[in-house]
Amino acid sequence: MIHELIEFAHGRGMALSLIETMPLGQTGCDRTEQFLGLDALRREISRRWTLSDLTDRSGGPARYARVEQTGGLIGFITPLTAHFCGDCNRVRVTADGTLYTCLGHENGIDLRKLLRSSMSEAHVHEAIGHAVEQKPKGHEFSLQGRVLPVKLVRHMSATGG
Ligand code: SF4
């Protein structure tokens, strides 16, 4: 299947990005059954395709490799097997106006409430700055053994990418 996906994407001039599942939100499923480390998938890809690692970045967390036979790119996003939290400068604002400073933590500030209050713009900036200063060093998801416990109630779709 992965080989067909590469042919499909690269045959249409598209890059293909792959991401390891993260245990966000209760789904009623055993997350370990959904998890596939991209190191294993990369080995499978390399059985058929020649991959050349690139240093190019898109501003996101993907690490890219070029498939020599197609000229197309594959992005590998590895939050579990090789997390990149140390380089992360991201914060996210959800559709309901909550500012989250990390995908892997529940703490956020109610930006909508602040903006709708009589608080001055300077104080709103200060509150955002304080939230960013408190940004966690990273997620606490763990792959110990075959345990991939769900740490967050919030689903990925509630936050956005
Ligand atoms: S888990 Fe948090 S710190 Fe790590 S990359 Fe995602 S948002 Fe950034």
Cα distance between residue 160 and residue 86, in whole Å: 20
Distance 99 CA to ligand 1 centre (A): 14
Cα angle 142-146-150, degrees, rounded to a multiple of 5: 50
Confidence of residue 75 (pLDDT cuts 50, 70, 90): very high
Q: Are 119 and 125 in contact (CB under 8 A)?
A: no
pLDDT per position as a tens digit, 111-136: 999 999 998 999 999 999 999 999 99
pLDDT at 138: 87
What residue's CA is closest to ligand 1, atom 7?
Answer: 102
Structure confidence at residue 116 (pLDDT): 94
Q: How far is CA 99 from CA 23, 24, 91, 106, in A?
A: 20, 17, 7, 10
Residue 41 backbone phi and psi in degrees, to 5: -65, -40
- The residue ranges of every structural domain in the chain are 2-84+140-150, 92-133
Rounded distance from Cα 38 to ligand 1 centre (Å): 18
Instruction: Say yes or no: CB of residue 23 within 6 Å of ligand 1.
Output: no
Give the per-residue pLDDT at 103: 86
Residue 113 confidence (pLDDT):
95
Binned at pLDDT 50, 70 and 90, residue 139 comes out as: confident
Residue 70 or 23, more confident = 70
In the prediction, which pLDDT does 32 show? 77
User: Strands 73-77 and 16-19, how do they pair?
Assistant: parallel
List strand residue ranges (DSSP E) for 8-145, in order. 16-19, 51-53, 63-67, 73-77, 92-93, 98-100, 108-110
Residue 150 has pLDDT above 60, yes or no: no
Q: Please write the tens of the pLDDT for every residue from 2-60.
A: 999 999 999 999 999 999 988 887 777 777 778 889 999 999 999 999 999 999 887 77
**Ligand 1 binding pocket includes 80 (Cβ within 6 Å):** no
Closest Cα to atom 6, ligand 1: which residue?
103
Which pLDDT value is given to residue 154?
A: 79
